[in-house]
Amino acid sequence: MNSNDQRLDDALRAVAGSGPQGAPIAVEAALRREFRQRAHWRRIRIGASWAGLTAVAAAGIIAFMLARPAEIRPPKALWARIEVPQIPATRPVARQQIRRRRVKPQATEVATSFYSLPEASSMTPLEYGSVVRVQLPRSAMRVVGLPVNQDRVLERIQADVLLGQDGLARAIRFIQ
């Protein structure tokens, strides 16, 4: 390094250390003001986004509820938890008695096969389920494409509803 290089280095160091070392305070003030404004508008935008999302979700739920056929909704009372009947303490009985007491199956009850409900395909796959007997208007049979006599449309009919593990109805069969 010759003397000119050395002196140039010294001069450059002097330049680096001279003059203003930072922006005027007004720049910081302007930037902070801008930051506050942006933060304010950002909060408003986030609030509006949440309100919008909530409105869309509510609209979606309402649309879904309206789109579901009303007929397949069992009456509220029939969704009540079924109490397990109290079984009396058993006494040992003779084999003959058991045979004698065996109840014949009711030959009069005729059921259709289970029909999948329209919205069942979009639900989670059925892992296990339970069958609940309900009473519905006969018009509910239209939901699964069965013919209904117009004169008897208001009559009530018994039906077995297959509920999935999530408690939602998957299929239905009608009992005659």
Partner 1 sequence: MQTASPQDDRDLLQRMWAGDEDAFTVLYRRHQGAVYRFALHMSGKTDIADEVTQDTFMLLMRGRNQYDPSRGSLSAFLYGVARNHVLRALERERPYAASEDADIPVDSGDVLGDLTRSEQIESVRQAILSLPQPYREVVVLCELHELDYAEVAAMLQCPVGTVRSRLHRGRALLVWKLRASERCSV
Name the residues that contact partner 1, by CB under 8 A.
2-5, 7-9, 11-12, 14-16, 18-24, 26-28, 30-32, 34-36, 38-39, 42-43
Tokens of 89: 């303490």
Measuring CA to CA, which residue among 65, 161, 172, 168 is closest to residue 124?
Answer: 168
- In whole angstroms, how close is the CB of 57 to partner 1 at the nearest point? 25
d(CA 28, CA 169): 63
d(CA 165, CA 67): 23
Residue 32 or 133: which CB sits closer to partner 1? 32
- In whole angstroms, how close is the CB of 22 to partner 1 at the nearest point? 4
Residue 17 or 125: which CB sits closer to partner 1? 17
- In whole angstroms, how close is the CB of 163 to partner 1 at the nearest point? 45
Measuring CA to CA, which residue among 112, 133, 115 is closest to residue 69?
Answer: 115
- In whole angstroms, how close is the CB of 122 to partner 1 at the nearest point? 36
Residue 34 or 166: which CB sits closer to partner 1? 34
- In whole angstroms, how close is the CB of 51 to partner 1 at the nearest point? 19
Residue 38 or 133: which CB sits closer to partner 1? 38
Find out whether 138 and 153 touch, Cβ atoms under 8 Å: yes
Residue 50 or 64: which CB sits closer to partner 1? 50
**CB neighbours (10 Å) of residue 140?**
24
Measuring CA to CA, which residue among 172, 141, 171 is closest to residue 156?
Answer: 141
